[in-house]
Amino acid sequence: MIGNKNKFVSREIEEDLRNLERYIEELSVFLPLSVYTVNPSNIIVDTNKAAIDLTGYDEDFIIGKEIVLLFKDKEKTEECINQVLEKDLIKNQEMVLITYDKKEIPVNVSVSVRKDGKNNVIGYFWAMSDISESKKFQESLEKEVEERTADLEKAKVALINMLEDSQESKEKVEEEKNKTRAALTSITDSLIVFDKDKRITLINPDAEKRLKIKEENVLGKKIEEILNSPNVKKLYEALDKKIEWTGQKYELILEEPLKRFFDVFVTPISSGKNVIGMIIIMHDITRDKEISRMKTEFVSIAAHQLRTPLSAIKWSLNMVLEGDVGRISPEQIELLRKTYQSNERMIFLINDLLNVSRIEEGRFVYSQDSHSIEEIIKETMEVSRGLSNEKKIKIIFEKPKEELPKIKVDKEKIGIVVQNLIDNGIRFNKVGGMVTISVKYDKLYVYVTIKDTGVGIPDLEQERIFTKFFRANNVVKLDVEGSGLGLFICKNIVEAHGGKIWFESEKNKGTTFTFTLPIEK
Tell me whether residue 190 or residue 355 sits nearer to other proteins (CB atom).
355
CB of 294 to other proteins, least distance (A): 19
Helix, strand, or coil here: 65?
Answer: coil
CB of 495 to other proteins, least distance (A): 18
- The distance of Cα 481 from the centroid of its chain, to the nearest Å, equals 47
Residue 351 interacts with other proteins (CB under 8 A)?
A: yes
CB of 384 to other proteins, least distance (A): 16
CA distances from 337 to 290, 316, 343, 344, 360 (A): 43, 12, 10, 10, 35
Q: Do 327 and 294 meet the contact criterion of CB atoms below 8 Å apart?
A: no
User: Which of 49, 114, 233, 307 is close enough to bind other proteins by CB under 8 A?
Assistant: 307
Strand-pairing partners, residue 284, are 262
Which helix or strand (DSSP H or E) is residue 46 part of?
strand 44-47
Tell me whether residue 365 or residue 396 sits nearer to other proteins (CB atom).
365
Tell me whether residue 72 or residue 304 sits nearer to other proteins (CB atom).
304
CB of 492 to other proteins, least distance (A): 15
Tell me whether residue 103 or residue 363 sits nearer to other proteins (CB atom).
363
Q: Do 406 and 371 meet the contact criterion of CB atoms below 8 Å apart?
A: yes
List the helix and strand counts (H, then E) for the chain. 14, 17
From 33-41, 169-177, 313-321, 496-504, give the range in contact with other proteins by CB under 8 A.
313-321
Tell me whether residue 286 or residue 316 sits nearer to other proteins (CB atom).
316
Q: Angle at CA 79, nearest 5°, toward 73 and 84?
A: 130
CB neighbourhood size of 252 (10 A): 22
Between CA 445 and CA 497 the distance in angstroms is 11
**Site track for other proteins across 314-333, x = CB under 8 A:** xxx-xx--x-xx--------
Residue 339 interacts with other proteins (CB under 8 A)?
A: no
CB of 298 to other proteins, least distance (A): 16
Residue 145 interacts with other proteins (CB under 8 A)?
A: no
Provide the 8-state DSSP code for 405.
P
Residue 347 interacts with other proteins (CB under 8 A)?
A: yes
Q: Do 236 and 227 meet the contact criterion of CB atoms below 8 Å apart?
A: yes
Q: Do 436 and 497 meet the contact criterion of CB atoms below 8 Å apart?
A: no
Helices 411-427 + 486-496 axis angle, to 10: 140
Helices 411-427 + 373-391 axis angle, to 10: 30
CB of 373 to other proteins, least distance (A): 20
Residue 363 interacts with other proteins (CB under 8 A)?
A: yes
Tell me whether residue 413 or residue 471 sits nearer to other proteins (CB atom).
413
CB of 314 to other proteins, least distance (A): 7
Residue 365 interacts with other proteins (CB under 8 A)?
A: yes
From 9-17, 82-90, 128-136, 301-309, give the range in contact with other proteins by CB under 8 A.
301-309
CB of 344 to other proteins, least distance (A): 9
Nearest to 396 by CA among 336, 437, 341: 437
User: Which of 60, 367, 460, 521 is close enough to bind other proteins by CB under 8 A?
Assistant: 367
CB neighbourhood size of 491 (10 A): 21
Q: Which long-range contacts (CB under 8 A, 24 or more apart) does 254-260 make?
A: 254/210, 256/212, 256/231, 259/286, 260/210, 260/284, 260/286
Provide the 8-state DSSP code for 259.
-
Tell me whether residue 358 or residue 451 sits nearer to other proteins (CB atom).
358
Residue 160 interacts with other proteins (CB under 8 A)?
A: no
Nearest to 488 by CA among 421, 427, 428: 421
Q: Return phi, psi of residue 4, to 5°.
A: -65, -45
CB of 387 to other proteins, least distance (A): 17
Radius of gyration, CA atoms only, the chain: 58
From 25-33, 312-320, 418-426, 463-471, give the range in contact with other proteins by CB under 8 A.
312-320
CB of 469 to other proteins, least distance (A): 22
Size of the site for other proteins (CB under 8 A): 23
Tell me whether residue 161 or residue 311 sits nearer to other proteins (CB atom).
311
Residue 250 interacts with other proteins (CB under 8 A)?
A: no
Q: Return phi, psi of residue 359, to 5°.
A: -60, -45
CB of 374 to other proteins, least distance (A): 23
CA distances from 132 to 30, 35, 90, 105, 196 (A): 21, 17, 20, 6, 70
CB of 440 to other proteins, least distance (A): 30
Between CA 158 and CA 10 the distance in angstroms is 81
Tell me whether residue 210 or residue 413 sits nearer to other proteins (CB atom).
413
Tell me whether residue 137 or residue 315 sits nearer to other proteins (CB atom).
315
Between CA 10 and CA 2 the distance in angstroms is 12
Residue 358 interacts with other proteins (CB under 8 A)?
A: yes
Tell me whether residue 69 or residue 321 sits nearer to other proteins (CB atom).
321
Tell me whether residue 267 or residue 341 sits nearer to other proteins (CB atom).
341
CB of 308 to other proteins, least distance (A): 5
Residue 310 interacts with other proteins (CB under 8 A)?
A: yes
Q: Do 487 and 420 meet the contact criterion of CB atoms below 8 Å apart?
A: yes
Q: Do 485 and 352 meet the contact criterion of CB atoms below 8 Å apart?
A: yes
User: Which of 101, 308, 401, 521 is close enough to bind other proteins by CB under 8 A?
Assistant: 308
Residues that bind other proteins (CB under 8 A): 304, 307-308, 310-312, 314-316, 318-319, 322, 324-325, 347, 350-351, 354, 358, 363, 365-367
